[in-house]
């Protein structure tokens, strides 16, 4: 069953325009990220509805401390910085990310996300000799661009392994890694069974989502379902209102937000 079908069925069971718009937001973020289903699936929609008001600033959310949330704010703001419109930090996306991980992620994905936060900070120390939150905006951007390329290669390899498994039927448990190895990018063919290289493990169909993929998903979803995202980054008109079936479009204009 596809994640989108699960989202449709959940939304059909829940009443209200607000729920449907959040289903659409999940779809759009998934499309922006190449069509791969978001971690958390349909649970993201229910969680978005659970509490629209961000927790008070300076408060913990689940396992996430105020410092953790501030860290996520900086990650999200590097992905979606302030330009002519407010950035992710202004929309308090860090708190949203912490809430979604707490409410919608399974145990394995929560652990991957938390470990990913440590890895981002570790990578910043190695590259810039300083923690991520203390790095310059350009240093942060360069680091996250590198991680984004890494997660794209990882995600492509995992999706290829999944398609192979679906086409060939479920492989024997002891051959899973071998089948996944065929789809590894050259720079990821490390630490595979039968080699002595000391790099990353093989990417297989059941590999967990890359941690930066999770961060990017939640940053985009949090921003574009926030009031700032809806009313500042996109054009928004409360409905019902006048029906305009054909509105002239000028290249470069902001897209219209659906009903909040």
Residue bearing the bigger pLDDT, 254 or 177: 254
Domain annotation covers residue 84: yes
Q: How far is CA 1 from the centre of its chain?
A: 21
Cβ-contact 91, 221 below 8 angstroms? no
**If we measure between CA atoms, which residue out of 180, 229, 182, 171 comes closest to residue 29?**
229
Q: Is residue 260 part of a domain?
A: no
**245 assigned to some structural domain:** no
Instruction: Give residue 86's pLDDT band: very low, low, confident or very high (50, 70, 90).
Output: very high
Please give the model's pTM, rounded to 2 decimal places.
Answer: 0.64
Q: Which residue has the tokens 């992620």?
A: 105
**Does the residue 258 lie in any domain?**
no
pLDDT band at 253 (very low <50, low <70, confident <90, very high): confident
Residue 49 resides in a domain: yes
Number of separate domains in the chain:
1
* pLDDT value of position 136: 97
Q: What is the pLDDT of residues 184-232, one digit of tens each?
A: 444 344 333 333 333 345 678 788 899 999 999 999 888 888 888 777 7
**pLDDT tens across 145-190, in order?**
999 999 999 999 988 988 888 888 655 444 444 444 444 444 344 3
Report yes or no on 145 lying in a domain: yes
pLDDT of 84 over the 50 cut: yes
Q: Report the alpha-carbon angle 4-42-117, nearest 5.
A: 110
The 10s digit of each residue's pLDDT in 107-151 is: 999 999 999 999 999 999 999 999 999 999 999 999 999 999 999
Residue 6 has pLDDT above 50, yes or no: no
The whole domain housing 219 covers: 3-233
Whether residue 256 lies inside any domain: the answer is no
pLDDT of residue 97: 93
Q: Is residue 239 part of a domain?
A: no
Note the pLDDT tens digit of each residue in 22-74: 555 556 655 555 555 566 555 455 555 554 555 667 788 889 999 999 999 99
């Amino acid at each position: 069953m596809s994640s989108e079908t699960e989202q449709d069925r959940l939304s059909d069971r829940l009443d209200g325009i607000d729920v449907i718009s959040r289903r659409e937001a999940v779809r759009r973020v998934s499309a922006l990220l190449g069509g791969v289903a978001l971690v958390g699936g349909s649970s993201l929609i229910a969680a978005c509805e659970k509490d629209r008001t961000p927790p008070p600033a300076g408060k913990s959310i689940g396992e996430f401390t105020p410092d953790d949330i501030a860290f996520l704010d900086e990650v999200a703001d590097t992905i979606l910085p302030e330009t002519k419109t407010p950035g992710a930090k202004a929309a308090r996306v860090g708190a949203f990310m912490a809430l979604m991980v707490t409410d919608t992620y399974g145990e394995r994905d929560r652990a991957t996300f938390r470990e990913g936060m440590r890895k981002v900070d570790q990578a910043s120390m190695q590259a810039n000799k300083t923690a991520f939150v203390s790095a310059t905006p350009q240093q942060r951007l360069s680091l996250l661009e590198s991680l984004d390329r890494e997660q794209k290669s990882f995600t492509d390899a995992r999706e290829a392994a999944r398609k192979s498994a679906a086409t060939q039927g479920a492989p024997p448990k002891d051959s899973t890694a071998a089948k996944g190895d065929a789809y590894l990018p050259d720079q990821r063919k490390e630490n595979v069974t039968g080699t002595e290289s000391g790099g990353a493990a093989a990417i297989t169909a059941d590999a967990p989502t890359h941690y930066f993929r999770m961060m990017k998903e939640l940053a985009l979803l949090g921003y574009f379902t926030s009031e700032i995202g809806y009313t500042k980054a996109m054009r928004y008109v409360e409905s019902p209102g006048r029906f305009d079936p054909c509105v002239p479009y000028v290249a470069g204009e902001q897209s219209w937000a659906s009903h909040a």
